[in-house]
């Protein structure tokens, strides 16, 4: 699975969209674990402590 992902990422050609939208980032965590794992990140506007 990781090899297929590596091949697809290397073949990817990024493109710019001409839309008036805020910029965003994508986090792709790659972990070596036997079971699927979810990674939650807080929105930028959310307080870090409650």
- Residues 4-37: pLDDT tens digits? 888 998 999 988 888 888 877 777 777 788 888 8
| pLDDT above 60 (res 46) | no
Looking at the domain assignment, is residue 12 inside a domain? Answer: yes
Question: What's the total number of domains in the chain?
Answer: 1
Looking at the domain assignment, is residue 49 inside a domain? Answer: no
Q: Tell me whether residue 30 is exposed, middle or buried, using C-beta atoms within 10 angstroms of its C-beta: 0 to 12, 13 to 18, 19 or more.
A: exposed
Which is more confident, 45 or 6? 6
Looking at the domain assignment, is residue 13 inside a domain? Answer: yes
Residue 18, domain extent: 1-38
pLDDT for 22:
82
What residue ranges in the chain does DSSP mark as E strands? none
Distance CA 6, CA 30 (A): 11
pTM of the model: 0.38
Distance CA 31, CA 9 (A): 16
Looking at the domain assignment, is residue 44 inside a domain? Answer: no
pLDDT for 13:
92
């Amino acid at each position: 699975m990781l090899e297929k992902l590596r091949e697809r990422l290397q073949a990817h050609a990024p493109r710019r969209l001409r839309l008036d939208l805020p910029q965003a980032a994508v986090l792709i965590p790659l972990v070596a674990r036997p079971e699927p794992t979810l990674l939650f990140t807080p929105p930028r506007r959310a307080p870090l402590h409650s």
